[in-house]
Structure 1
């Protein structure tokens, strides 16, 4: 399309517009202008509302994003706390098992001690019974031997040495016999020689 043809179309449009304005009634133009103004005002108001909505949406999105980030951080923190608690629980469980084992060991030791104590009590009772029965009889036998043999023995000597004193009618005779160098018969005969045959 040539430049002249474009200009001609513009002229025709302008003439048509001038003809429309000239042929229109002023009241009709005022009404159209008022409707256009109202439409324009409504358009501006709509733009304001849409802009506010978009602004609110951006704020909501930012707030939601921040909240999401906060929740993710909180989740990480809670996950870490949970891991720590689980580790503490594992450690406490291990300690509890060790403590249970120690308690069982101590209970067994206590039972063993109780058993040992009972055995000791039984032995003590037996010793007490033996003491009340045997020692007086041993003392009696020793007294009888002393009366018969007139020998007073020393008891803090070596196991193979017999030491003592024979108290005869006129004098006291010391006794010192090494039983490891003599037979039992010799020792017995020597001791019987101290005993008087006179009644």
Structure 2
């Protein structure tokens, strides 16, 4: 709108200039010329200001566009991070469910073992009650045999194998007898050979 007024002023000035030239009024002609120069200078300054404003607007648009692109990129990164966190959360939940299942299994096994242990304790108490009188005498007899014979037996052998060590005066002699291939008399004689008759 201001630009249109200036153009109209310029036209009017041009017409006035032609009229003054026709009237040959030199002083007026100089005045018109000065006004025309002033108007031209103002028009040039206005163009510079408008150009600067347009340049500033272009820079602002470019800056805003760059910020928008940066924000879009950051948004994509945040979305990727969010997806990664959601995946980790899914994995943690799955792991937690597995751990809960394993924990329940272990708890059931523990309860089963406690029940078994209780049953064994009950059985042991029953055995202890039944053997309170028998075991001490059996232990005494076993210790007495070991003291007399100087033979220390191994008790975790198969039923047909006699294993142990005879601790003689000078040396220890291992004993390893398969009773399935020898008679009871032969076994007895071999064992009596270890016993010293000296008191």
TM-score, structure 1 length as denominator? 0.55
Q: How far did residue 88 of structure 1 move?
A: 0.9
Deviates more, 1:31-40 or 1:20-29: 20-29
2:118 is aligned with 1:118:
yes
- Structure 2: stretches of 5+ with no match in the other structure: 1-16, 139-158, 161-183, 185-199
Q: How big is the alpha-carbon RMSD for the aligned residues of Structure 1 and Structure 2?
A: 3.0
SS at match of 2:132: helix
The residue that corresponds to 2:144 in the other structure is none
Please identify the structure whose Cα radius of gyration is greater: 1
Distance in 1, matches of 2:69 and 2:56, equals: 20
The residue that corresponds to 2:28 in the other structure is 28
How is 1:84-103 mapped onto 2 (pairs within 5 angstroms)?
84-103=84-103
The residue that corresponds to 1:127 in the other structure is 127
Distance in 2, matches of 1:27 and 1:111, equals: 122
Residue by residue, what CA displacement relative to the aligned partner does 1:55-108 show, whole Å, maximum 9, x if unpaired? 112212222222222222212211111111111111110000000111111111
| Segments ≥4 residues shifted beyond 4 Å | none
Q: How far did residue 34 of structure 1 move?
A: 2.2
SS at match of 1:52: helix
Q: How far did residue 20 of structure 1 move?
A: 3.3
TM-score, structure 2 length as denominator? 0.55
Distance in 2, matches of 1:34 and 1:122, equals: 128
Q: How far did residue 24 of structure 1 move?
A: 4.9
How is 1:13-52 mapped onto 2 (pairs within 5 angstroms)?
17=18, 20-21=20-21, 23-52=23-52
Q: How far did residue 47 of structure 1 move?
A: 0.6
- Structure 1: stretches of 5+ with no match in the other structure: 1-15, 140-155, 158-162, 164-199
Distance in 1, matches of 2:48 and 2:84, equals: 53
